[in-house]
Amino acid sequence: MATSLGSNTYNRQNWEDADFPILCQTCLGENPYIRMTKEKYGKECKICARPFTVFRWCPGTRMRFKKTEVCQTCSKMKNVCQTCLLDLEYGLPIQVRDTGLSIKDEVPRSDVNKEYYTQNMEREIANSDGTRPVGQLGKATSSSDMLLKLARTTPYYKRNRPHICSFWVKGECKRGEECPYRHEKPTDPDDPLADQNIKDRYYGINDPVADKLLKRAVTMPRLDPPEDASITTLYIGGLGDNVTDGDLKGHFYQYGEIRTITIVQRQQCAFIQFATRQAAEMAAEKSFNKLIINGRRLTVKWGRSQAARGKDGIKDGISEMGTRLDPVPGLPGALPPPPPLDEEAPANYFNLDPSSSPAVMNITLPPPPGINPPPPGFGPPMFHPIGPMAPPMPPPMSMRPPGQIHYPSQDPQRMGAHAAHARHGD
């Protein structure tokens, strides 16, 4: 049935015309200078089926081109990115966010109810200042500890990589390095993460990524307080260069009185000592695995007492500051202690049998052909017994009288001696 000109004009009033998309940092890319193509009423929204302005861009080198998938009205209703449909504040799927905030936002599915619901939300968005979400999400007052633990603090640019080349998988890709797609082995087709639906992501149902994150939240570790009640110090690791003393004080003062804050810049860590144990336990409980300062996720652990630190030192993989050190693979173990020395036992350096004869045989090689053997007294004997009846050893060269020959070249019987005398005679 043909529509009238008036109804067509009314429908066009609901079409969206925007100047810039609503994107997360990951989809936008790490390059601050990017080019975008803008196509007015280029596609229909995959949620409300209304035409909207489509933006297309490349987030970086060797990345695939991305474009907006839903209109800005649907994006503002759920406070999500127009491309990946992840929450703009936490970087998590909608199902995880709604579970953490204990909200249940039922968006109509039928066309008539969906259009009516969308018009009411547009009216609420127009009356708001644009700084806070609308609907049930805007009414949520407090944040969730689970969301702070699971929140992504840095962009995940690996998500922008190109898709896998189907021709390479079949062994038929002939473009080589010029192929814009990835030449990698595909994942298991039975993997639940391989089957994702954009509508399930938006409505927060049957999302495999959300199910994986919710299971991870259940098995996350806990920080139990130490048995020593005198410990009131917390270890804060991973400070980096942009977290200062004032930033730590501005976050931890809400839990109780702070006695001292010590920053060790070399190890990029800090020690915060509270005045009471109750304040330290509250700070550890509220900050463990969910402390984010200046965009950095910090590590929170309990410190160690001075007595235990001085007694154990760095034993059992514990450093002086109370942090547990991970073992380094490939290093040799500790050497065994040397055996005790027995002064009465003789030193047997060559592992000789004590019952064998004490005589030792020294054998020398014969001189090369053409060279006379050394005169008696200059060379070691062929057989030199060591015993009480053995002849005495000749004195060393430095203790012999001056009349004797000291060097083989001075021996007249050696080769070259006659020529040397002849030259001296000339």
Dihedral (Cα; 387, 391, 396, 397), 10-degree rounding: -150
| Residue 223: band (very low, low, confident or very high) from pLDDT cuts 50, 70, 90 | confident
In this prediction, residue 93 carries a pLDDT of: 92
| Pick from 364, 369, 375: nearest CA to 410 | 375
Structure tokens at 354: 């004590």
Beta bridge pairs of residue 164: 182
Beta bridge pairs of residue 235: 271, 301
In this prediction, residue 383 carries a pLDDT of: 46
pLDDT for 57 beyond 90: yes
Q: What is the pLDDT of residues 293-308, one digit of tens each?
A: 887 888 888 888 765 5
Q: What is the pLDDT of residues 142-188, one digit of tens each?
A: 677 788 878 887 888 999 999 999 999 999 999 988 999 999 988 88
Residues 169 and 187: their CA atoms lie apart, in Å, by 11
| Residue 204: band (very low, low, confident or very high) from pLDDT cuts 50, 70, 90 | confident
Sign of the CA dihedral with 382 first, then 388, 389, and 394 last? positive
Which DSSP symbol is given to 172?
Answer: -
Radius of gyration of the chain (CA): 42
Beta bridge pairs of residue 264: 269
pLDDT for 131 beyond 80: no
In this prediction, residue 393 carries a pLDDT of: 62
Beta bridge pairs of residue 262: 271
Which DSSP symbol is given to 63?
Answer: -
| Residue 189: band (very low, low, confident or very high) from pLDDT cuts 50, 70, 90 | confident
* Number of C-beta neighbours around residue 75 at 10 A: 24
Strands, sheet with 36-44, edge to edge from the N-terminal-most edge strand: 36-44, 51-57, 66-67
Segments making up each domain of the chain, as ranges: 11-220, 233-307
pLDDT for 28 beyond 50: yes
Residues 167 and 145: their CA atoms lie apart, in Å, by 46
In this prediction, residue 37 carries a pLDDT of: 95
For the question of whether the overall pTM of this predicted structure is more than 0.95, the answer is no
Q: Which residue has the tokens 């020395």?
A: 341
In this prediction, residue 197 carries a pLDDT of: 87
Q: Which one is predicted more confidently, 283 or 140?
A: 283
What mean pLDDT is predicted for residues 75-99? 91
Q: Which CATH number fits domain 233-307: 3.90.870.40, 3.40.50.11540, 3.90.1710.10, 3.30.70.330?
A: 3.30.70.330
Q: Which one is predicted more confidently, 43 or 122?
A: 43
In this prediction, residue 195 carries a pLDDT of: 79
pLDDT for 397 beyond 60: no
Q: What is the pLDDT of residues 229-277, one digit of tens each?
A: 888 899 998 888 888 888 888 888 888 888 988 888 888 889 999 989 8
